[in-house]
Structure 1
Amino acid sequence: MTNFNRRDLGKMLGAAGSALTLGGLAGKASAATPIDLSFPKDFKWGCATAAYQVEGAVKEDGRGQTNWDVFCHTPGKVANGDTGDVACDSYHRYAEDTQLLKNLGVSTYRMSIAWSRIFPDGTGKPNQKGIDYYNKVIDGLLAQGIEPYVTLFHWDLPQALPGGWQNRDTAKAYADYAGFMAGKLSDRIHKFMTVNELRCFTDLGHQVGIHAPGLKLSPAEVNQVRHHGVLAHGLGVQAIRAQAKAGTQVGIADNTVFYVPVMETPEHIAAAKKATRENNAMFLTAIMEGRYIDEYLTEQGANAPKVQAGDMAAIGSALDFVSLNIYAPEWARAEDNAKGYVTIPHIGSSPRMASPWLIVGPEVAYWGVRHVSEMWGPKTLYISENGASADDPVVNGHIDDVDRVMYLRNYIGQFHRAIAEGYPLKGYFLWSLMDNFEWADGYTKRFGIHYVDFATQKRTPKLSAAWYREVIRQNRIV
């Protein structure tokens, strides 16, 4: 602006202001009926957490050790040496946390079951104290009019399972556990999600090594771990259907990598959709299509996973809904090459939240829903996670996280667009109800809309909690 003085700028703005309003609308258009930002009357608003991230009490009431217990207590693996030993102490404070949900006005809550509380060794005799605990949590939620959506595996694998996810038997053990829990809970739980974020507990744990169990395997070994992960999902779907009461619905919570077209023109839209399908070939694409696509098998060659008879039929088991964890975008554009597209790498100037990986790109919310809907046609979609880390300074007892509100408002606006265009998005779970153990980041990153003082376990609503409560109350973007 060095070429303009304040008077010149004022004249320019004055002239522009006579023709334009804030929304870019001119003249009489500014008095037109505002855009309807409301959601369908039956839209479900909720929050999400995960057992290992909030429960604590890792040695109580017969709970078995998990891979994350071991990982956290290995020096240098988690920021500041943090562990999930106490976390948010929700194991003891679940009634207080249920009240937080009640105060928000949510109708749903996505929670996970700790496999090792039910089967301390992953298999064998069930632990009744673990069953009793989840019965109390679920009954307490239902008493407040909050419907639990239960994720059966959210990364905390029983340590006693030989070989972990490198062992095909772990997929079978998971299916036995999933079927058992469906039999115990489906009189009250009507929505089960098999696993959370396949890419994270396979790739981050076995290829990159920054999550439990902290391995860096060969490409062939990583592909086999991925296969065991999607097989666990598929066998789990079958086991839940076999053991659950009639009317129980089954889905998955997946952090699909979604590609946003660089502009909304047919060729770039097609490129982004193709990039999404091919770059998720080992996960959601395999689940939705019941096969590994040719592009993936050709690219992997001798490193492709070993598949046994019946595996792909199980992996492709029909789902009642698909849930998506949507945070950061990738981009793609059309290109005259063998693939028909190129992907665009993130650049240093990309806007980010407090977590370096959390690029802000609200359009991914719309394109994620649209891509899945157009490629695979699920009857129902949910957003099982969406949220943001922020620095959250406490000033005079207040946490005015306007940056998180900005992020949420823009992403929810894009979900609204998807619904307005007819895509079958039926509910939204904000991540997260409260600050918690953020895996390898320990307690250094806060995603909650309630601030947790981990020294005292006091929960304090942030500005984002008040904002979300108002969104729910009005059932519209505010």
Structure 2
Amino acid sequence: MGNLYPIRVLDPLVFGDYPAEMRRYLGSELPQFSKEEIDYVKGSVDFIGLNHYTTHYSVDCIYSNCTEGADHAIKGYQQQKNEQDGIRIGEPTGIDEISVVPRGMEEIVDYVKEIYNNIPMFITENGYSAPHGEDVTLKDILNDTKQIEFHKAYLASLVRAIRNGADVRGYFVWTLLDDFEWVFGYDVRFRLYYVDPHTLDRIPKLSAMWYNSFLTENDSFSRKEEAY
């Protein structure tokens, strides 16, 4: 599942301290808490928000050779990889580090459920960006069946976790409109609505119609889908 340290940093808020494993490897790099601080913050988490996009293979850098930087405590002595034996873990997307691996949603939600005693969760971000292609037309952009397949698969995975007892209260698609994606700028698009860069008109993609139908339980979408 990749590096879970970003998840375990919630331990002080839930349990009052970092896991013993993190203390062992990171030592003085982690802050120490007084009893008053522990009592003040312990159990203060009302819900956990998860941003989930992908899953990686994880290489143990304590016993394996890793690239420079991954073999340090701050990285959890592990290296993330999106392929093994030359085979990619999932279908590629518009960002090389992100692959389509739906089972990861169920796995990460189950993990957080078990570690944090099933504190209520919200999936605060989950989305798909199409791989870059040449000569992509507006029709291609609007007819985004891959994005629909992504959300169907990830939601099905989430449903399995919920049926297994995970207290998930909400799910948010990333994102409604085009936005500035950090180092990727406007080259990577996750949106449900296409924004014309010249007129700024907002045009719903097929995924927006599907998601609306999904939320409203309106079966008319299947007829619209056939028209594309």
Same fold (TM over 0.5): yes
Specify the alignment match of 1:403 in structure 2. Answer: 146
* One of 457, 461, 467 as aligned partner of 2:204: 461
Letter of the structure 2 residue corresponding to residue 346 of structure 1: N
What is the rounded CA distance, in whole Å, between the counterparts of 1:283 and 1:372 in structure 2?
12
* One of 155, 164, 169 as aligned partner of 1:421: 164
What is the rounded CA distance, in whole Å, between the counterparts of 1:473 and 1:331 in structure 2?
37
Given that 1:370 and 1:423 are in contact with CA atoms closer than 8 Å, whether structure 2 keeps it comes out as yes
CA 1:439 to 1:289, structure 2 compared with 1: closer, same or farther past 3 Å? same
**Root-mean-square deviation (CA), in Å?**
3.1
Q: Confirm whether residue 370 of structure 1 aligns to residue 110 of structure 2.
A: yes
* One of 85, 94, 102 as aligned partner of 1:354: 94
DSSP-derived class of the 1:384 partner: strand
CA 1:361 to 1:287, structure 2 compared with 1: closer, same or farther past 3 Å? farther
Which shows bigger deviation, 411-420 or 305-314?
305-314
Specify the alignment match of 1:388 in structure 2. Answer: 128
Specify the alignment match of 1:321 in structure 2. Answer: 47
Instruction: Quote the offset at 1:359 in angstroms.
Output: 1.7
**1:341-366 Cα deviation digits (max 9, x unpaired):** x8873226422211112121111111
Letter of the structure 1 residue corresponding to residue 96 of structure 2: P
Q: Alignment identity in percent?
A: 28
Specify the alignment match of 1:445 in structure 2. Answer: 188
5+ residue gaps, structure 2: 64-77, 223-228
Q: Confirm whether residue 345 of structure 1 aligns to residue 118 of structure 2.
A: no
Instruction: Quote the offset at 1:396 in angstroms.
Output: 4.6
Specify the alignment match of 2:25 in structure 1. Answer: 299
Larger radius of gyration: 1
More helix by share: 1
Given that 2:82 and 2:97 are in contact with CA atoms closer than 8 Å, whether structure 1 keeps it comes out as no
Normalised TM-score (structure 1): 0.37
Instruction: Quote the offset at 1:449 in angstroms.
Output: 0.5
DSSP-derived class of the 2:26 partner: helix
Instruction: Quote the offset at 1:474 in angstroms.
Output: 1.4
Letter of the structure 2 residue corresponding to residue 384 of structure 1: T
DSSP-derived class of the 2:99 partner: coil
Given that 1:369 and 1:418 are in contact with CA atoms closer than 8 Å, whether structure 2 keeps it comes out as yes
What is the rounded CA distance, in whole Å, between the counterparts of 1:374 and 1:344 in structure 2?
23
Instruction: Quote the offset at 1:399 in angstroms.
Output: 1.1
Normalised TM-score (structure 2): 0.73
What is the rounded CA distance, in whole Å, between the counterparts of 1:344 and 1:438 in structure 2?
21
DSSP-derived class of the 2:171 partner: strand
What is the rounded CA distance, in whole Å, between the counterparts of 1:379 and 1:415 in structure 2?
16
